């Protein structure tokens, strides 16, 4: 469909709680495709949420399969409508970045294992277990739906936030 521009912090849409999608919704498939196209076009992205492209709706896409951190443990391309983490366990801290905060990365602690329920692109309910980098990526994208950025989860802006090196 279309590669969309990514909204940058401090755009106010990024701080809003996104609206749930009521299924069936014929517009959601086009939104999912826009998210996929935008994620793939970035080249380095493992996920993108609808608010990042200006759509305040509870839709995300995640695919860590091409990342060295997620290559061996993933579900492939996940298209998640109204995703919700229903169970979490463990804890791990990872350096996170975000297309909406392009100049910084930060250490964020999240659940290491999650169970997430969602509706997939074809309208089917799904429940999956995820761990490691994939679990981290999903939690990061769901945060976007709740108006949160990784900056909101960095425990110390002084010691855990880093300026990204210019490429």
**What's the distance, CA 142 to chain centroid?**
6
Specify the 3-state DSSP secondary structure of 61: strand
pLDDT of 56 reads 97
Residue 4 banded pLDDT, cuts 50, 70, 90:
very high
Are 53 and 16 contacting, i.e. CB atoms less than 8 angstroms apart?
A: no
Q: What CATH number does domain 12-163 carry, 3.90.45.10, 3.40.50.1000, 3.10.20.30, 3.20.20.80?
A: 3.90.45.10
Residue 58 banded pLDDT, cuts 50, 70, 90:
very high
User: Is residue 166 scored above 80 in pLDDT?
Assistant: no
Which helix or strand (DSSP H or E) is residue 142 part of?
helix 132-145
Q: How many CB atoms lie within 10 A of CB 126?
A: 16
User: Is residue 167 scored above 60 in pLDDT?
Assistant: no
Phi, psi (degrees; rounded to nearest 5) at 42: -65, -30
pTM confidence score: 0.96
For the chain, what is the mean pLDDT?
96
- What are the pLDDT digits (tens) for 138-163? 999 999 999 999 999 998 889 999 99
Residues classed as catalytic: 141
How many whole angstroms separate alpha carbon 33 and alpha carbon 27? 10
**What's the distance, CA 68 to chain centroid?**
17
User: Is residue 27 scored above 70 in pLDDT?
Assistant: yes
Are 138 and 125 contacting, i.e. CB atoms less than 8 angstroms apart?
A: no
Domain spans of the chain, in order of start: 12-163
User: Is residue 1 scored above 70 in pLDDT?
Assistant: no
Are 87 and 114 contacting, i.e. CB atoms less than 8 angstroms apart?
A: yes
């Amino acid at each position: 469909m279309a590669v969309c521009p990514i909204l940058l912090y401090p755009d106010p849409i990024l701080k809003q709680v996104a609206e749930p999608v009521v299924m069936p919704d014929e517009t959601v498939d086009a939104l999912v495709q826009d998210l996929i196209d935008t994620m793939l076009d970035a080249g380095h992205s493992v996920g993108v949420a609808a608010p990042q492209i200006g759509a305040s709706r509870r839709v995300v896409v995640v695919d860590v399969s091409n990342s060295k951190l997620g290559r061996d443990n993933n579900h492939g391309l996940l298209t998640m409508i109204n995703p919700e983490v229903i169970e979490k366990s463990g804890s791990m801290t990872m350096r996170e970045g975000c297309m909406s905060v392009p100049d910084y990365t930060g250490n964020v602690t999240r659940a290491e294992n999650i169970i997430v329920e969602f509706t997939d692109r074809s309208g089917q309910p799904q429940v999956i277990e995820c761990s490691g980098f994939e679990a981290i990526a999903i939690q990061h994208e769901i945060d976007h739906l709740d108006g949160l950025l990784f900056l909101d989860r960095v425990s110390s802006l002084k010691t855990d936030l880093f300026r990204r090196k210019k490429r």
